[in-house]
Homo-oligomer: A and B are copies of this chain.
């Protein structure tokens, strides 16, 4: 196991100067490319003395007597003065231009004028762009290893340079490996049992392309030593400048990458003290980088951007891309194992004037932890973690302007929040939403602690039968002012397999021995509702098979039922419908939005309210089924 910086040093040093390919391309197409040698001007620009203004061309020496009290008339018919436009060549015997605004003509419209009257002298070469003023033939236009911009392309063309020698784009070959993998196309009719869609190669190809490589993705290779070895040899024979094996790089029985690289060349690094990304293998075969990139998508991504993207850029003479950084307050305790550099995906937004960063889920297997994040926290190997309230430095995955317009939404999840997100993106100006789903109570606590703009909550108070109000009074009073607004009413009920094979009709059926239940996590509104209904029916949790089996979202509960893992779960109609499950209504509940007082009038919340009070939003919510948005935006309580 090697530390990240050490691994990078070893890897980059091994390829230092190895890739120096150059090609000549049209200057017109050279923006974004890097010169492979110095570039000299072929022609001068301007190629002649040219007027820099619209006006008259004169010989400066003949104008010296002109003044306000002694205006001077220059003869246009004899050519003593000549009309000239910007960019036109200066007449051979002229050396200055007088702007047309400073000239009076004997015929004001210009046509047919014979005399031009001036009231101030011209000095030699005034308003004249001299030959070579911009570019002198033979001079150095650009040094070696210069990244050409659009303006540079303009300069190349202006200097008469038709073609320019630039660093070649490296050719990157990506080989997906894994006997369990199928292509997206093979999954058109669904995913056969035990199979997984191979999705990393498309992601890595996009990353390699963004780094400037030409990319080829080979067909999936099963986990067999000889086949992997043959694929690597083929890739090298075809002229690859980099070969990426994905995945097969962990310690399991199906992992041949290390052996293949070791047998064909040498393993430079095997295993890196980062998380995700640990099972990375970096190798060198015939002078070419051959690497085992980890299989989990986030591991694959982080490993790629730490080693392969920078190498691809270095190969072209480009500097490594550095993500912009910002300081933010960390909203949670994030313990981290010492000795491992951890990459935590975060959502960051500006709440109550300060940037707040909150972690999303950890799993390296979940690409959505990456797609939902807008920032990244690196916890160094030397640290045992970060405390809530600590100021941290985050790397931006999205532009700062986006982070500043991101609404942080923490708490219970509801499908209507996804609709709001979609509407927010289409509003003008557009807003972003970043969410983590931690249950209703988690959301209320996040509002109390100043960590979010809005929290979704649907907590039933069993004593009063009321939703949310009692909880926010208990948690917020004296600590944080906030407002509670209704978003929707929604039906909660049992989701069961189509046709309801176990004939579940009411809460009492959950106590049956032949019924397995799937629960929501403690602190979620649905869990409170279940516990309330169980109590009313006189059923103890220990009588419910599967009570301890917790999921974090309605959809996850629905999936549990659909897959047969459970016979019933409590959730919303929309989730049941989405997966084609039957639904037995249990209760209608109110789902509210809790908003800290300090944000209640902010542009972010204003944008949110414009949406939730619109008829477009209401009709789309109600089309989900089991929803009423009739009170959306109604103030329920202030605390």
Q: Which residues of A contact B (CB under 8 A)?
A: 16-17, 27-28, 31-32, 38, 43-50, 52, 54, 83, 85-89, 100, 124-125, 129-146, 149-158, 160, 162, 178, 180, 184-185, 187-188, 190-191, 193-200, 202-207, 209-210, 250-254, 295, 297, 301, 319, 322, 324, 363, 365-368, 370-371, 397, 399-402, 418, 421-422, 424-426, 428, 430, 433, 548-549, 553, 555-556, 558-560, 563, 565, 578-579
Contacts and interface: CB of A to CB of B under 8 A. Distances in A.
A87 B196 contact: yes
A559 B31 contact: no
B153 A206 contact: yes
B180 A88 contact: yes
Contact of A428 (B16, B198, B204, B565): B16
A198 B153 CA distance: 12
Contact of A154 (B17, B140, B200, B253): B200
A475 to B, nearest CB: 29
B366 A133 contact: yes
Contacts of A54: 250-253
Contacts of A188: 162
Nearest to A405: B319
Given A88-B180, A252-B85, A418-B143, A150 B203 contact: yes
A188 B125 CA distance: 29
B89 A402 contact: no
A578 B136 CA distance: 10
A639 to B, nearest CB: 31
A193 to B, nearest CB: 6
A160 B301 contact: no
Contacts of A145: 425-426, 430
Nearest to A130: B556
Contacts of A155: 199, 367-368, 370-371
A497 B139 CA distance: 19
A401 B319 contact: yes
Which one of A46, A48, A100, A202 has the greatest number of beta carbons of chain B within 10 Å? A202
Given A88-B194, A559-B131, A157 B250 contact: no
Given A137-B579, A367-B151, A206 B86 contact: no
Contact of A180 (B87, B124, B199, B203): B87
Nearest to A140: B418
A198 B45 CA distance: 11
B202 A28 contact: yes
25 contacts: A16-B428, A27-B184, A43-B187, A43-B191, A47-B197, A52-B365, A89-B194, A129-B365, A131-B565, A133-B556, A135-B368, A136-B555, A137-B559, A137-B579, A140-B418, A143-B424, A145-B425, A150-B210, A151-B371, A153-B202, A153-B206, A157-B199, A157-B202, A162-B188, A319-B402
A125 to B, nearest CB: 8
A65 to B, nearest CB: 18
A606 to B, nearest CB: 19
Contacts of A430: 145
A253 B400 CA distance: 46
Contact of A31 (B83, B210, B319, B363): B210
Contacts of A194: 48, 88-89
A425 B135 CA distance: 21
The 7 closest A-B pairs by CB, nearest first: A154-B203, A157-B199, A150-B206, A31-B206, A138-B578, A140-B418, A136-B555
Nearest to A129: B365
A125 B190 CA distance: 25
Contacts of A48: 191, 193-194
- How would you classify the secondary structure of chain A's contact residues: helix, strand, loop or mixed? loop
A50 to B, nearest CB: 8
Contact of A295 (B17, B87, B180): B87
B154 A202 contact: yes
A518 B226 CA distance: 75
A151 B196 contact: no
A311 B122 CA distance: 42
Given A85-B254, A140-B418, A132 B187 contact: no
A194 B90 CA distance: 9
A144 B206 CA distance: 21
A187 B47 CA distance: 11
Contacts of A187: 43, 160
A188 B160 CA distance: 8
Given A145-B430, A555-B139, A207 B150 contact: yes
Contacts of A402: 319
Given A125-B549, A151-B370, 12 more contacts: A27-B202, A38-B422, A46-B196, A47-B191, A48-B193, A85-B252, A85-B253, A86-B252, A88-B194, A89-B194, A143-B424, A151-B297
A16 B427 CA distance: 12
Which one of A185, A322, A563 has the greatest number of beta carbons of chain B within 10 Å? A563
Contacts of A86: 250, 252, 295
B322 A399 contact: yes
A366 B134 contact: yes
Given A210-B150, A324-B324, A555-B138, A425 B143 contact: yes
Which one of A130, A428, A549 has the greatest number of beta carbons of chain B within 10 Å? A130
B205 A28 contact: yes
Contacts of A200: 154
Contact of A138 (B206, B400, B579): B579
Contacts of A135: 367-368
A416 B152 CA distance: 22
B144 A157 contact: no
Contacts of A253: 54, 83, 85
Contacts of A131: 559-560, 563, 565
Nearest to A433: B143
Contacts of A89: 193-194
